[in-house]
Amino acid sequence: MVESENKSSLPCSSTSLSNYFEKDHPDEEKWADCVHCGMCLEACPTYLETGQEQHSPRGRVHLIKSVAEGKLSLDEQLADPVFQCLDCRACTTACPADVDVGGLIEEARGQIREAMPLKGWRGAVSNFFLKGLFPHQNRMQTISGLLKFYQQSGVQKVIRQTGALKVMPSHLAGMESIMPEVKTSVQKKYKDIDVIPAKGTPKARVSMLTGCIMDVMFSDINESTINVLTHNDNEVVIPKSQTCCGALHVHAGDRDTGRKLAKQNIEAFKDSEKVIVNAAGCGCALKEYPELFKDNPEWKAKAEEFSGKVEDISKYLYDSGYEKPKSEIHKRITYHDACHLAHGQGVRHEPRQLLKDIPGVEYTELSNADTCCGSAGIYNLTNPEMAGAVLDRKMEHVPEDVEMISMGNPGCMLQMAMGVQKYGRRSEIVHTIQLLDWAYQKDKQANEKPATVKG
Ligand code: SF4
Ligand code: SF4
């Protein structure tokens, strides 16, 4: 059962006119600084696509404020623009007044779901994934096993050859076609190891968030993260009781489940000095845990202490020092800024520097590097048309001769892989840490003495 922080479902009492519920209502302080200047409009992918004010940051702020003033109800007029938002945070970067539009959007989504819960098959699917699957490591391991069977038993090949995927909606079939090879999760692989040792004399002990989807679909990136951390003399701990970060729950308006997961993670990492994350969306969600406990001083203090320990892997390596690889990787590489890394956490320079420090890399900058790719959590599944249009705009700026596109978020990796496939490109999609790991592996092989044959 999800614990309820505040049982009130009465309209918001902070202003007598408000049509919001009291619990978790959008924070007036967040919109107070908006001067309607419109400097955020050109940064907003959904505004660029539609040209409509209600699908712009300024329009959304105005609608959210209008409900608080009793001029608008919690209905479709608010729900559509609020759920069409990618929560990409590009508007906050563009806004001279630092208006936290993303935070307002998430609070408004919670209110909309309170007033208009998802019903029928939509509600069932949402509950299955958000409550029944992602928070449960054992169930995610089962899914991992099933996917591995699907890929390795030949079933996937048969399904693809028979064209059975054509009966699926095109965006789901597209997802299946770029599904990465599922490998053993690091949670499972290291389940009997308390501390993964550093390669040399340990300089720090860090803990790692393995993520729910990350550890099923991208466990090789988790493995690379461990390799790179230990290579740079960090001991690595993987707390067993950690869970899903709750980002998808908060994006969907389910703040109660988000809080429950946040509490579990805060407890799981309470003895950690650093919490290393390799998925931008998860890292941003962990850093924003204090927002979930605004009405609970005890947990707010715990959440603030916890979020201060959270660090993206690229920033941690850059700040704590890392060995520059010696082996060369001769590739033309570009970098896509995951929204929740660049706009959400302000991490831009560090991953680029990691790439540029690999000898042989020919780095090229994307002209729209920090524009959303349309992934946005599960937005590409819930809003496939808009996500596709946003992806098209992204791909228009990717040079054709780029051999690799690097990034720091698994959702973006899947979406950009769809873009590469759609546009018939040959670029490989990689996580920045995979490239660094690859360079270290090459160093290791170069240092290994060839086996000698005794005569
Ligand atoms: S959100 Fe910021 S940039 Fe956009 S209209 Fe308001 S003040 Fe201007
Ligand atoms: S978060 Fe992104 S999609 Fe939403 S209003 Fe801001 S710029 Fe537009």
Per-residue pLDDT of the chain (455 residues; tens, 9 = 90+): 333 344 334 444 445 689 999 999 998 999 999 999 999 999 999 999 999 999 999 999 999 999 999 999 999 999 999 999 999 999 999 999 999 999 999 999 999 999 998 888 777 777 888 887 888 888 887 877 777 777 777 777 777 777 766 666 666 676 677 777 878 889 999 999 999 999 999 999 999 999 988 888 899 999 999 999 999 999 999 999 999 999 999 999 999 999 999 999 999 999 999 999 999 999 999 999 999 999 999 999 999 999 999 999 999 999 999 999 999 999 999 999 999 999 999 999 999 999 999 999 999 999 999 999 999 887 878 888 999 999 999 999 999 999 999 999 999 999 999 999 999 999 999 999 999 999 999 998 887 755 545 43
Question: Which run of H or E residues covers position 332?
Answer: strand 332-335
Q: Is residue 174 part of a domain?
A: no
Residue nearest to atom 4 of ligand 2 (CA): 85
Give the N- to C-terminal CA distance of the chain in Å, as an integer: 70
Structure confidence at residue 2 (pLDDT)? 35
The total domain count for the chain is 3
**Which residue segment(s) compose the domain that 253 sits in?**
181-318
β-strand pairing of 362-363 with 310-312 = unpaired
Burial of 363 (0-12, 13-18, 19+ CB in 10 A): middle
Structure confidence at residue 151 (pLDDT)? 76
Read off the tokens for 70: 């009793």
Structure confidence at residue 15 (pLDDT)? 55
Given the CA of residue 102, which atom of ligand 2 is nearest to it?
1
Distance 282 CA to ligand 2 centre (A): 18
333 and 251 inside one domain:
no
Nearest to 309 by CA among 382, 380, 237: 237
Structure confidence at residue 5 (pLDDT)? 41
Nearest to 5 by CA among 22, 18, 20, 19: 22
Angle, CA of 37, 33 and 100, to the nearest 5°: 95
Domain final position from 318, 341, 361: 318
Q: Is residue 3 part of a domain?
A: no
Q: Is the CB of 43 under 6 A from ligand 2?
A: yes
The total number of residues shown for the chain amounts to: 455
Distance 116 CA to ligand 2 centre (A): 22
Q: In this structure, which amino acid lies at residue 384?
A: P
Read off the tokens for 54: 């209600």
Q: Is the CB of 40 under 6 A from ligand 1?
A: yes
Cα(331)–Cα(105) distance, rounded to whole angstroms?
40
Residue nearest to atom 6 of ligand 2 (CA): 91
Rounded to two decimals, the pTM is 0.89
Q: Is residue 413 part of a domain?
A: yes
Cα(311)–Cα(225) distance, rounded to whole angstroms?
13
Greatest pairwise CA separation for the chain in angstroms: 93
233 and 280 inside one domain:
yes
Given the CA of residue 84, which atom of ligand 2 is nearest to it?
3
Domain final position from 80, 97, 115: 115
Q: Is the CB of 333 under 6 A from ligand 2?
A: no
345 and 252 inside one domain:
no
